[in-house]
A and B are shown apart, each in its own frame.
Chain A
Amino acid sequence: MKTIFLVDDSATILLSISNILTKAGYATEKAANAEEALRKLRTGIKIDLLITDLNMPGMNGIELIKEVRKLPAYKFVPILFLTTESQQSRKLEAKAAGASGWIVKPATADELLNTIKLVVR
């Protein structure tokens, strides 16, 4: 089973996405902030995709992506970020940090799953 790691400071978003993913047959891991996510990743958990929010208190999503890419085990893991900001600069910044792609909130379950299908190997 593919494991998707979700990072979002909003418990509502976290729960709703994980519900969709679980129904679609994915396993999920969750973290409420970037620091917690990094801590979990440093324990070496196996994930097939990381989905993170960009705007979080403390370390933001872009910093998280950069840090994750520094970890050898996650150098090539697909990373999607959640964004509502259409600003191109934010997307480019995240891409430059090592993100694979993005999901525009609010997304329907189909949009979400299709995007995931695109990046999960």
Chain B
Amino acid sequence: MDEITSVFIQESREQLAEMEAGLLRLEQNPDDHDNINGIFRAAHTIKGGSGVIECHFIEAFTHRVENLLDALRNNELAVSPPLATLLLECCDHMVSLIDVLAAEGEAPDADLGAKGDALTERLKGFLDGIGQPAEASANSELAVQDSTVEVESSGGGIVLTDSWHISVRFGENVLRGGMDPLSFIRYLASLGEILGIQTITDAMPVAAEMDPESCYIGFEIQLQTRSSKADIERVFDFVREDCDLRILPPNSKLSEYIKHIQELPEDTMRLGEILVRCGALTQAEVDQGLSEQKSSVEHAQPGDPTAASQLGQILVDHKVVHKEIVDAAVVKQAQVNDKKAKDARLVRVQADKLDQLIDLVGELVIAGASANLLAQKSKQVDLVEATSVLSRLVENIRDSALQLRMVQIGDTFTRFNRVVRDVSKELGKEIDLVISGAETELDKTVVEKIGDPLMHLVRNSLDHGIEPTALRLERGKPACGRVALNAYHDSGSIVIEISDDGGGLNKEKITAKALERGIIQAGETLSETEVVNLIFEPGFSTVDKVSNLSGRGVGMDVVRRNIQALRGAVDVASVEGEGTTFTIRLPLTLAIIDGFLVGVDKAAYVIPLDTVVECIELKNLPSDRNFMNLRGEALPFIRLRELFEIPGDAPPRESIVVVQFAGQRAGIVVDQLMGEFQTVIKPLGAMFRHLRGIGGSTILGSGEVALILDVAALVQTVTHSEQQLLPGRSHAAPAALSSNQFTQH
């Protein structure tokens, strides 16, 4: 695919997203003229681009859509729900057409073609309604009037010449319009041969009054060419309103020349001379012509009708010009006032190039660490100093490079406006989508991959969460349901919440279903949190009827797996009758993190620094239980040595790294603390996917491999094992575990 096409595809997708957002706003706010203009502009840009890349199926369809939008823009049509729906469908269709182009298809397949035809018919329906033919405005370019006025012959001999005579007097503003009068002469010369030319400077005022920025000159030109009058006129297109142009074809009658001379502002006799000089006429012809003209004027009525009408025409023309310029100025003023400067300084970069940069920065970080290590070993103070400056810079480069990949989640969120609109219509429910935290940034890769799980959760909220309107009213809730999307940063993660004010999850039903499906065993006691989170188990579905929206019983399981694949976690909290909140936690980036290096035996491990709260050195940890008293709070902990079954005895002094994830604290017991370390995350091979507690690997400055701990999984393991030590206790435990347990400690 060539570069232009791929640029077009990317641009069109962006424009379509904007168009869709605009159309959704249109329903709420039908009179927002800026918005309608924006929608029109999006369609217009796509049409223009498709013309450039000669993709005619997109161009043709978009052209029809544009016509309708144009009518809307000109207030020939009013916004109505069916119209908005149609335009949204057209928008979807255009997305499909772009997909066809992206797949390098020649034309849409039969299905898509039929869909396009159906939409075209409906578009026509609307346009016919206002009496405008569907193909209007396309050809209006041709309607530009040909201002050629046939010169009326009024006797006199024919001037035998095969060349055109052109008289042009430039208006004062020609220079200010950035035009060079000479350029017209040059251009005329490209049409044929200039046989004679005279510069007319009669309009030039005296030096004191002359404005050097104004143009005062004109030309009399004798041109030999095969071009038509229209071609010659076209040369002066850009100054047509601003200059006085007269063209006489070859072999014109002498009288026409004379009339021509008389209509020009300069003195008749002088002009006669000039025409002679530039070879248009001979002196004899001028004399003869002028005397003939004189006599005929004497015979004619005062105010020759032909001359008068032409002059009148010119005057009218001038008036029209003035009026339009005034009108335009008024329109202009209004536009300036409500201008919203969307001042985005953007550079488009291919994602691959960014990835390459990040990879290189990753290597740089590793190489830097290695240099650092060697410097320290060498014990040369200067060298240590130099490398530490270097690594600080590397750190800055790393942060800036990663920042390049960060995008706002807002675009992903706004996509759901449409989903909520369509689905709520389909379900016959009234639902509002509330978006907050749209400016929260996260890694581009994460944004791309979070779309699907998010879609599932939102649809789930719409379908299962929000109750039917009747039921809502019965429960004393507002008829209009509310689904909220929110995003924010929290200790090195980004948190995305999807909440609804619907019926909430029915815990009894979930328990019953889980028993029935064999997900839990009878007699198992589960906390409320555990019960509601059962919905993420494979094969779980509480809705008996499978709708086409969600509820095939695979959804939630897949959602969780997708999110875990991004090193994230999802859980759900629900209050029956009041609503449900899904919380997704994702790492900010997938490439390089700040790590905290710890050691157990000879191996090194990395704990993501964002999760580390504090480090404590302890001489004798309790060996019989897995929690300790940390300033009056219960802190469950886990020994890495035990978890990873590392042989050998623990040193007398161990350290605890206190980590926090999703509001849950836990301690990780290690042999030694080795400090901060920039960690380039290298994914583990497929063989190690099932390993719990390890999220990836990295390479140390020494070239050794260190494993990155998956804090989320560890915290879960810790709290789980701690519960097993306290059988029968409710599970709200770790935080709530009463401190009196510890007074004995």
Q: State the A residues within 8 Å of B (CB).
A: 9-13, 15-16, 19, 32-33, 35-36, 55-60, 62-63, 69, 75-79, 84, 86, 88-90, 92-93, 95-96, 98-102, 104-106, 117-121
Contacts and interface: CB of A to CB of B under 8 A. Distances in A.
Contacts of A92: 241, 321, 324-325, 328
Interface in B611-637: none
Nearest to B177: A100
Interface in B341-375: 341-346, 348
A48 B321 CA distance: 29
Nearest to A56: B41
Given A100-B238, A117-B187, A58 B343 contact: yes
A119 B178 contact: yes
Given A95-B241, A96-B329, A101 B179 contact: yes
Contacts of A120: 183
Contacts of B327: 89
B454 to A, nearest CB: 28
Contacts of A77: 178
Contacts of A96: 325, 328-329
24 contacts: A9-B45, A11-B8, A11-B11, A11-B348, A12-B53, A13-B45, A58-B340, A59-B341, A75-B176, A76-B176, A78-B178, A88-B324, A89-B324, A92-B321, A92-B328, A93-B332, A95-B177, A96-B328, A104-B141, A105-B51, A118-B184, A119-B178, A119-B179, A120-B183
Residue in B38, B49, B327, B328 whose Cβ sees the most chain A Cβ within 10 Å = B328
B519 interface: no
Nearest to B342: A58
B114 to A, nearest CB: 28
B144 interface: yes
A108 B92 CA distance: 31
Nearest to A9: B45
B49 A86 contact: no
Interface string B234-269: 010110011000000000000000000000000000
Contacts of B235: 118
Contacts of A58: 339-343
Interface of B: 3-4, 7-8, 10-11, 38, 41, 44-45, 48-49, 51-53, 140-141, 143-144, 175-180, 182-184, 187, 190, 213, 235, 237-238, 241-242, 321, 324-325, 327-329, 331-332, 335-336, 339-346, 348
Nearest to A89: B324
Contacts of B179: 78, 100-101, 119
Chain B, interface SS category: helix
Given A11-B11, A12-B7, A55-B44, A98 B177 contact: yes
Nearest to A120: B183
Contacts of A60: 335
A92 B322 CA distance: 10
Nearest to A102: B238
A95 B325 CA distance: 9
Given A76-B178, A95-B177, A100-B178, A119 B238 contact: yes
Nearest to A105: B48
Contacts of A93: 324-325, 328-329, 331-332
Contacts of B343: 33, 35, 58
A114 to B, nearest CB: 8
Contact of A84 (B48, B339, B340, B345): B48
Contacts of A56: 41
Nearest to A55: B41
Contact of A98 (B38, B176, B237): B176
A12 B48 contact: yes
Contacts of A84: 44, 48
Contact of A12 (B52, B184, B321, B340): B52
A98 B325 CA distance: 12
A120 B182 CA distance: 11
A95 B321 CA distance: 11
Contacts of A119: 178-180, 183, 238
Nearest to B143: A86
A10 B48 contact: yes
A63 B177 contact: no
A15 B8 CA distance: 9
A13 B238 CA distance: 22
A16 B178 contact: no
Contacts of B144: 86, 88
B331 A15 contact: no
A31 B49 CA distance: 17
Contacts of A105: 48, 51
A15 B324 contact: no
Nearest to A93: B328
Given A15-B4, A106-B48, 13 more contacts: A11-B8, A13-B48, A15-B3, A55-B44, A59-B339, A78-B179, A84-B48, A86-B144, A93-B324, A95-B242, A98-B177, A118-B184, A119-B179
Nearest to B44: A55
Nearest to A34: B341
A57 B344 CA distance: 11
B53 to A, nearest CB: 7
B188 to A, nearest CB: 10
B176 A57 contact: no
Given A12-B7, A93-B332, A117-B187, A36 B345 contact: yes
A16 B52 contact: yes
Contacts of A90: 328
A97 to B, nearest CB: 8
Contacts of B140: 86
A9 B18 CA distance: 14
A117 B238 CA distance: 13
